[in-house]
Chains A and B, each alone.
Chain A
């Protein structure tokens, strides 16, 4: 096999320019795929990280039917304290769960005493919430914008969404009045101090305000313990779908009077429209890979067919001397394989260099309501290896037909070829 490999290698060197041209096509294809995977993958990872770790959590549990009407933040679909207690027992026992946060979401009116605007709010336990969505802390600015401390959310305090605070010209430390209607239709209001302004994000909950859940109970005249959303952070994000299925199964035991499940479990993908963008990114990655396969297939098959046609007499000579069809087949297959291996290795190394350069340069971009997002393109070594292996396998497949053609040539016909 080494002897065939040696001749195949020399044959490639015989047409150096053509070999380099074909290899460069393969290299460009690989670089495009790997850099795209790195940049798009990092963008997806960054955005998913932002969405899950600063807003939604990995999973959410609601009362059955709540998500269908989530835009209204319906208070009549709250989970009663008794059910919440049962749910908390299940969550506490689930080893895949790192933390959870009880939320009471509702809509209200915010007044700065001169102007009034509507607002969507989350009543939370700040400690639970920051454990479950740790990146939320990075979005909040307190009285000192430079301070690394997360502003407090004690009773009587509120974190206002940035856009609303700007619109109503409310600064941190200012007093506001929050008015809301409870599920019985009565209106109540409480004064609150703005302890932080929260940066906007794209997606559901990205423009919500936050207040202490005890204030929410007081404002809505709800008994403590009642919530309408439970955000969950998992120990292993990669196991999200499995954990979701297991939790759904466990919670399905809890039935209401109509013998229907009380709870519904959703992954972040079911709650955020960004999951569709993530799917599009995955689809684009697949298309780019298909284009790479097409480039490799066409360029290597073309160059190998050319090689067969140009070397028909040479094939005839070695066949006449007694070289078996299998060895002739191996020779041409190996030439194609070498082209693929050279392209795959060079392309992978160049791609890793470009990805490293992009990291060093730092790509800063805006997405939706978010500015100054820094992209750090990275690529898993498994992805590099898989792409290289695909290219090498496709190179071998592309060489198959020319190799078969070469091996089937009758020496007498090949020797007479001009």
Chain B
């Protein structure tokens, strides 16, 4: 049984009188603990697929199964709860909360979403910050650290709630090549360490090869599925 299953997914956006078919008959299966990359040119539908897996959007038709739960028909509140309990996100622009310190940014999902007491999770946050290599920056605000460090914090924030899947939409797009590799490497390490499924999108051909499974999208349809687990 796949951990994530997208079945016959269609997604159409309305722009005034014009309908844009972003996804057409997308079928996808992701196993638990895999490191999956969705690649394709701009406008191919990568972000739309990630938004659907991340329960940020709903398909026009088709079904999405995540850990045996149909999520396509959940209402706004149910989707928020589902995201909080099961998913972690890493964004292209890092999207750290500027008024919180590095430590507090990582702590945010535990306090605000998991409603945990701050005393209980200090060790876990510090160990995560240590694992992603920003422990020495923990008291700084996001504007005081580099882009690579911000994305490391974002990875730690995505993992702190021990989610089943981490969704990363172009996590390396705003980073230089070396830093991008380090982030992908970090994500892979964290996948092994935390036993989490990572699904990320990219159009950077140099880091595509780091993925175990690569889905290639073009014009809203899946053109290819490559399983590189034997190579990676």
Contact = CB atoms under 8 A, between A and B. Distances in A.
A325 interface: yes
B56 interface: yes
Given A7-B100, A314-B97, A317-B97, A323 B84 contact: yes
16 contacts: A7-B100, A10-B99, A10-B100, A11-B99, A14-B98, A314-B95, A317-B95, A320-B83, A320-B89, A321-B109, A321-B112, A321-B113, A323-B112, A323-B113, A327-B112, A415-B95
- Across chains A and B, which 10 residue pairs bring their CB atoms closest together, nearest first? A322-B84, A10-B99, A317-B95, A322-B83, A412-B56, A322-B113, A412-B57, A3-B111, A411-B56, A412-B51
A318 interface: yes
Given A11-B99, A321-B109, A410-B56, 10 more contacts: A10-B100, A319-B80, A320-B89, A321-B89, A321-B108, A321-B113, A322-B84, A324-B77, A324-B81, A411-B56
Contacts of B156: none
A321 B84 contact: yes
A411 B51 CA distance: 10
Contact of B54 (A318, A320, A324): A320
Interface centre among A3, A4, A314, A317 (most CB of B within 10 A): A317
A32 to B, nearest CB: 33
B7 interface: no
A223 B131 CA distance: 110
B97 A318 contact: yes
B162 interface: no
A13 interface: yes
A247 B85 CA distance: 73
Contacts of A4: 112
A322 B87 contact: yes
Contacts of B140: none
Contact of A3 (B82, B85, B91, B112): B112
Contacts of B157: 321
Interface string B82-119: 11110111010101011110000000110111000000
Interface in B160-218: none
Interface string A309-335: 000011011111111110100000000
Nearest to A316: B95
Given A411-B56, A415-B56, A322 B81 contact: yes
B108 to A, nearest CB: 7
Contact of A317 (B80, B87, B91, B113): B91
B76 interface: yes
Contacts of A3: 111-112
Nearest to A324: B80
A324 B56 CA distance: 13
Interface of B: 51, 54, 56-57, 76-77, 80-85, 87-89, 91, 93, 95, 97-100, 108-109, 111-113, 157
Interface string A392-418: 000000000000000000111001000
Q: Chain A interface: which size bin? A: 20 to 34
Contacts of A411: 56
Contact of B93 (A313, A325, A327): A313
Nearest to B83: A322
A327 B108 CA distance: 12
A260 to B, nearest CB: 73
Contacts of B56: 320, 410-412, 415
Given A3-B112, A412-B56, A323 B99 contact: no
A314 B85 CA distance: 20
Nearest to B112: A323
Contacts of A7: 97, 99-100
Interface in A267-326: 313-314, 316-325
A321 B83 contact: yes
Nearest to B114: A322
A322 B88 CA distance: 9
A10 to B, nearest CB: 4
A156 to B, nearest CB: 86
A320 B93 CA distance: 14
Contacts of A322: 80-85, 87, 109, 113
Contacts of A318: 97, 108, 112
Nearest to A313: B95
Interface centre among A316, A320, A412 (most CB of B within 10 A): A320
B151 to A, nearest CB: 14
Contacts of B109: 321-322
Contacts of B112: 3-4, 318, 321, 323, 327
Contacts of A320: 54, 56, 83, 89
A7 B112 CA distance: 11
Nearest to A322: B84
Interface centre among B56, B82, B93, B98 (most CB of A within 10 A): B56
A405 to B, nearest CB: 14
A412 B89 CA distance: 12
A411 B89 CA distance: 12
Nearest to A416: B47
A410 B13 CA distance: 15
Contacts of B83: 320-322
Nearest to B89: A320
Interface in A1-55: 3-4, 7, 10-11, 13-14
A324 B76 CA distance: 9
Interface centre among B51, B80, B93, B113 (most CB of A within 10 A): B80
Contacts of B54: 320
Nearest to B167: A320
A380 B88 CA distance: 55
Contacts of B51: 412
A14 B81 contact: no
Nearest to B98: A14
B76 A325 contact: yes
